[in-house]
Amino acid sequence: MTDTHDFYTLCETNDEHMEVYTIDLDCDDPFINGPILRYGFETVNHKLVSGFHVRGSSRKEKINLNKQLMVFIMHDDELWGWNSKELDRISQNQASNMYYLSDDSVCYLDTNSIIVGGKHIEHSEVKLIDCLFGSWKETCIYEEREKKAEILNFGVDNQRRRLIILSGIKNSKDKRDKFVTIFDIDTEQILVRIKIQSREIIGRLKSNLYNFTEGHIYYNNKVIKVRYDLLETFKGGEILEHQLFDHYSDVIKLKSSSDVIQCDTPL
């Protein structure tokens, strides 16, 4: 669903192809149009779809800025992009975690293996893809400064344009010390970086089973509030884990103990 009120769907066909269809939802009598894009399974090395994002064309805008339709598809660990002309592989290493930032931009994690001090390290960069008029621009917006640090997972607050990053550095006991970093995409600044002990926060960020928006991490029937307000008050001063995260449980009163709240579902 694009901001231009166009619906796009990606389908697998019986003859081993992927096809993209569209419906103009502003139309008085909406109909299915397409396929506007078709490619074979072998093109993407028979890898399954794990993400899909479309930047709608500006053809319906009052002033047409000639923004081309663009499609981004994650096939397992490969990110592919189509600019209305050619389908190209964007990621050169292992891609994962494609996140919607706005209609014009998406983030993903690009990981490759390096050797640091004789040890195998998964080095990752958070990359931002910005859609231009007829092409896209890819930039690295975040990577760990310390060579030994590994990004374990990350989330995007697309309302406030901030990243929450869980990273780990192996200590002398060969166990990972975990750190949470909050990074502002627009100012390109680290707002806070703290060592974290909470099993629940580490597990939640590691598993990615949450929705992160407006500084709130939503999961099940609980919310963790990230105190953005304190970050502005402290301005570089030391902030502790229990100060940065406020935990709220039983947010919605459920009729029965067997009732559940589930994120990312229309049900």
Q: How many CB atoms within 10 Å of residue 111?
A: 18
CA atoms within 13 A on the CB side of 218: 11
Question: According to CB under 8 A, which residues from 209 to 238 bind other proteins?
Answer: 209, 219
3-state DSSP percent of the chain in helix, strand and coil, to 5? 10, 50, 40
Q: Is residue 206 involved in binding other proteins (CB under 8 A)?
A: yes
Which C-beta is closer to other proteins: that of 135 or that of 211? Answer: 211
Q: Using the structure block, give the residue that is written with the tokens 């166990």.
A: 175
What is the distance between the alpha carbons of residues 127 and 129, in angstroms, rounded to a whole number? 7
Selected range binding other proteins among 115-123, 143-151, 190-198, 257-265, rule: CB under 8 A: 257-265
Residue 229 DSSP SS3: helix
Q: How many residues bind other proteins (CB under 8 A)?
A: 25
What is the distance between the alpha carbons of residues 55 and 53, in angstroms, rounded to a whole number? 7
What is the distance between the alpha carbons of residues 25 and 33, in angstroms, rounded to a whole number? 12
Q: Is residue 198 involved in binding other proteins (CB under 8 A)?
A: no
Q: Which residues on neighbouring strands pair with residue 19, listed in sequence order?
A: 11, 38
Residue 234 DSSP SS3: helix
Q: Is residue 10 involved in binding other proteins (CB under 8 A)?
A: yes
Q: Tell me, letter by letter, the H, E, C secondary structure of 195-217.
A: EECCHHHHHHHHHCCCEEECCEE
Mark 14-53 with x for binding to other proteins (rule: CB under 8 A) and - for no binding: ---------x-x--------------------------x-
Q: Is residue 137 involved in binding other proteins (CB under 8 A)?
A: no
Among 65, 115, 252, 267, indicate the residue that binds other proteins (CB under 8 A).
267
Which C-beta is closer to other proteins: that of 210 or that of 228? Answer: 210
Closest by Cα among 73, 82, 133 to 108: 73
Least separation, in Å, of the C-beta of 203 and other proteins? Answer: 3
Q: Is residue 140 involved in binding other proteins (CB under 8 A)?
A: no
Q: Is residue 207 involved in binding other proteins (CB under 8 A)?
A: yes
Among 202, 217, 224, 226, indicate the residue that binds other proteins (CB under 8 A).
202
Least separation, in Å, of the C-beta of 232 and other proteins? Answer: 29
Binding region for other proteins (CB under 8 A): 1-3, 5, 7, 9-10, 23, 25, 52, 153, 199, 202-204, 206-209, 219, 262, 264-267
